[in-house]
């Protein structure tokens, strides 16, 4: 089986800090390689992989202001499709753009839909669903107009996350600084519940940060740490009383949620999108509707068995399970070629 793995080029694969899609692609690629699958990773030239690396874009465009994202996206995608006949299957993690090339090649394509940035991109997915097999990353993120082959939840490498039975004394916000992610609400929850809040993540909306977040950063009760790498991520997640995840959109998945639980840290999340699929309410965290309910749940954190949080992730969100599910997807496509639902047990 020869797999062409198409990764985004916004960040390195795997990312140095932020880059959730690239992180998933890396974990999947290395997991497949460990099983003896022949994988060619199409990513940035500075990417790290045990697979064969092929690239045209030397560095991530988010890290290089001299790179025009649209130009290098076009070159990157075309570079793979121009050699499509060398592979048994193409696995697309680059959203909708590669789909417009799909009728120019005969190689089967599977597209993991990592979420819809806007309803405006749906016409492309509808138009080309006869040429690509779609995989959703949660049942909540499925569009009723599209056909899906399977839902495959993201997996993480458990050995990258240290289980900690005894937490520290702070709450944690871990994600991009943006209204959708509820950064301001996390501050409100921490202040109203009387806890310190540590925040980590890239600033995606500078105006929002300057007006709604920066005024509360005092480096005492509210501390902003910037974007952090894997080692600091492990420390921050593991020592937190809870991860606050007060999202304002239907989040397709939420890697930080399972990463926190892998450390034994429960999650307090607004009940939107995939959160009911990822969190067991009152067992691995709390699903709430507003800031007031979140504050109430903080008083019940000691009732959560941190060991059960870890066990839940090991059972349902391991990289081994993700790799096995995708291998089942690949084999079904290569065996039948049919665009139909697979009975994958998540």
Residues 6+ positions from 260 with CB-CB distance below 8 Å: 172, 174, 237, 240, 242, 243, 266, 267, 309
**Residue 15 sits in which domain range?**
2-155+318-336
SS3 49: coil
Tell me: the pLDDT tens digits for 284-311? 999 999 999 999 999 999 999 999 999 9
Does 85 score more than 70 pLDDT?
A: yes
What is the 8-class DSSP label of residue 213?
A: I
- The secondary structure element, H or E, covering residue 18 is none
User: What is the model's pTM?
Assistant: 0.91
> If you ran DSSP here, which 8-state letter would residue 211 be given?
I
Question: Is residue 90 a contact partner of residue 109, using CB atoms and an 8 Å limit?
Answer: yes
Taking residues 207-215, report their average pLDDT.
Answer: 97
Helix pair angle (319-336, 20-34), 10° resolution: 70
Residues 6+ apart with CB under 8 A from 300: 282, 286
Q: Which residues contact 309 (CB under 8 A, 6 or more apart)?
A: 260, 261, 262, 263, 264, 265, 266, 284, 285
Residue 342 resides in a domain: no
Q: Report residue 40's pLDDT band, with 50, 70 and 90 as the boundaries.
A: very high
Is 210 strand, coil or helix? helix
| 227 vs 174: CA distance, rounded Å | 9
For residue 343, is it within any domain?
no
Q: 283 in a domain, yes or no? A: yes
Q: What is the dihedral of CA 83, 95, 330, 147, to 10 degrees?
A: -130
Say yes or no: 279 and 135 in one domain: no
How many structural domains does the chain have?
2
Is residue 14 reached through a cis peptide bond, with omega within 30 degrees of 0 on the bond before it? yes
Is the pLDDT at 343 greater than 50, yes or no? no
Residues 164 and 312 in one domain: yes
SS3 content of the chain, % helix, strand, coil (to 5): 40, 15, 40
Residues 32, 123, single domain; the answer is: yes
pLDDT for 236: 97
Q: Residue 4 has what pLDDT?
A: 98
C-alpha to C-alpha distance for 325 and 149, rounded to whole angstroms: 11
**Each residue of 103-150: pLDDT tens digit?**
999 999 999 999 998 899 999 999 999 999 999 999 999 999 999 999
In a domain, 14, yes or no: yes
The runs of H, that is alpha helices, within 82-128 are 122-127
CA–CA gap between residue 37 and residue 42 (Å, rounded): 15
317 in Cβ contact with 258 (< 8 Å): yes
HSE, CB side, 13 Å, CA atoms: give it for residue 231: 0
Q: What is the pLDDT at residue 338?
A: 47
Whether 138 is in a domain gets the answer yes
Query: Are residue 208 and residue 141 in the same domain, yes or no?
Result: no
Residue 341: inside a domain, yes or no?
no
**What pLDDT score was predicted for residue 342?**
43
In this structure, what CATH number is given to the domain that contains residue 12? 3.40.50.2000
Residue 32: which of 320, 244, 305 has the closest Cα?
320
What is the CA 202 to chain-centroid distance, rounded? Answer: 15
Is the pLDDT at 344 greater than 60, yes or no? no
Residue 180 has pLDDT above 70, yes or no: yes
346 occurs within a structural domain:
no
The answer on 9 and 133 residing in a single domain is yes
Q: Is residue 189 part of a domain?
A: yes
174/150 same-domain check: no
């Amino acid at each position: 089986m020869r797999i062409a793995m198409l990764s985004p080029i916004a960040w390195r694969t795997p990312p140095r800090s932020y880059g959730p899609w690239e992180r998933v692609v890396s974990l999947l690629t290395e997991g497949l390689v460990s099983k003896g699958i022949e994988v060619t990773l199409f990513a940035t030239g500075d990417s790290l992989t045990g697979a064969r690396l092929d690239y045209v874009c030397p560095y991530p465009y988010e890290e290089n202001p001299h790179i025009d994202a649209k130009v290098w996206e076009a070159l990157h995608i075309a570079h793979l499709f121009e050699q499509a006949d060398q592979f048994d299957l193409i696995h697309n993690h680059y959203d909708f753009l590669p789909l417009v090339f799909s009728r120019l090649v005969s190689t089967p394509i599977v597209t993991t839909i990592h979420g819809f940035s806007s309803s405006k991109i749906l016409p492309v997915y509808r138009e080309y669903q006869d040429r690509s097999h779609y995989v959703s990353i949660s049942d909540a993120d499925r569009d009723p107009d599209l056909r899906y082959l399977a839902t495959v939840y993201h997996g993480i490498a458990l050995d990258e996350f240290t289980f900690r039975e005894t937490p520290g004394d702070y709450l944690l916000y871990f994600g991009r600084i943006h209204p959708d992610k509820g950064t301001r609400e996390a501050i409100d929850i921490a202040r109203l519940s009387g806890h310190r809040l540590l925040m980590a993540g890239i600033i995606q909306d500078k105006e929002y940060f300057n007006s709604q977040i920066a005024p509360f950063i005092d480096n005492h009760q509210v501390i902003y740490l910037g974007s952090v790498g894997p080692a600091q991520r492990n420390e921050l997640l593991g020592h937190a009383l809870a991860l606050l995840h007060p999202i304002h959109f239907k989040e397709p998945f939420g890697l930080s949620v399972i990463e926190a639980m892998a450390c034994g840290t429960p999650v307090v999340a607004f009940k939107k999108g995939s959160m009911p699929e990822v969190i067991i309410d009152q067992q691995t965290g709390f699903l709430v509707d507003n800031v007031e309910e979140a504050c109430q749940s903080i008083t019940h954190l000691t009732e959560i068995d941190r060991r059960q949080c870890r066990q839940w992730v090991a059972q349902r969100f391991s990289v081994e399970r993700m790799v096995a599910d995708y291998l089942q997807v690949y084999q079904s496509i290569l065996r039948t070629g049919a665009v139909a639902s697979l009975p994958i047990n998540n």
